[in-house]
Structure 1
Amino acid sequence: MTKTTPEQNKALVLEAFETLFNKRDYAAAERLWSDRYIQHSAHIAPGREGLFNLVRTLPDTARYENQLIVAEGDYVIAHGRFTGIGRPAAWIAADVVRFENGKLAEHWDVLQDEATRTESASGLPMFGDSFPA
């Protein structure tokens, strides 16, 4: 059984998201996601193949960028933005990942459309220091 530290888990999540969502390197991604991967997202079919198949349907312009990542034990929460996904607005995401044997083993997410300046009741952007163009 491979045991990873919270710092290693954060680095693995960032590597996994870069590998799958930005590089679309499915062979490399298979080494990062467990073959018994459990998916709790309402937008993604079960298992690792459900996730990979979803990514295959996204436009080539789809990208993930991370703003904040925290970890405790076997869990990581990544606050990020998915752009170019073929929707009117980018998705701001809080992705919760559980690790097992050094691989991404389970996932939950909270997603919402990124608000523009006129849509933001707080007057503050949801991601980074500026509003989307």
Structure 2
Amino acid sequence: MAGSPHPHATVLLEAYEAFGKGDLDRLPELWTDDVRWHEPGAHPLAGDYTGPQEVVGLFGLAFEVTEGSLRVEVRSAFADDTDGVAVVRMTATRGDRHLDVLAAQVHRFEDGRIAEVWDAHTDQAAVDAFFS
């Protein structure tokens, strides 16, 4: 019999729900004040972002570049006392380009909030080509 999800899994799902609704104001409530996001690749959005303002800025730019078409669908989410992973499907369009990749987003938690995220795409070359 399955038990209740770990509280960190609930935080992950709340964050993805807020992102999906475009509620970027909700996200900093789920993050530490010095949250860090690591976006891999060789494209203009790749890099390390520190603090809620920079991470929300990254998300805003991603929405802008994709003309609001970026979607992140959670396929599964797992968490324990220190770490969590969300397996997500990312889709977007940009002009005549289309993105459809899976990613594992690895989260580190501090005091019940998301402190750091590493994004790992199944097809980094497709992500780089899409955002370049």
Instruction: Show structure 2 runs of 5+ residues with no match.
Output: 41-45, 125-132
- Structure 2 residue 43 is matched with structure 1 residue 35: no
| Mapped partners of 2:111, 2:99: distance in 1 | 36
Normalization by structure 1: what TM-score? Answer: 0.70
Q: CA deviation at 1:44?
A: 4.3
Write out per-residue CA displacement over residues 71-105 of structure 1, whole angstroms, 9 at most, x where no aligned residue: 23210011111112535322311000011112110
| Mapped partners of 1:52, 1:23: distance in 2 | 14
**More strand per residue: 1 or 2?**
2
Corresponding residue number in structure 2 for 1:67: 75
| Mapped partners of 1:60, 1:88: distance in 2 | 13
Normalization by structure 2: what TM-score? Answer: 0.71
Task: Return structure 1 stretches of 4+ with deviation > 6 angstroms.
Answer: none
SS of 1:31's equivalent? helix
- Structure 2 residue 7 is matched with structure 1 residue 8: yes
8 Å Cα contact 2:90/2:99 also seen in 1:
no
| Mapped partners of 2:92, 2:69: distance in 1 | 5
| Mapped partners of 2:17, 2:37: distance in 1 | 19
Distance 1:85 1:93, change over 3 A: farther
**Kindly, what percent of the aligned residue pairs are identical?**
28
Distance 1:14 1:112, change over 3 A: same
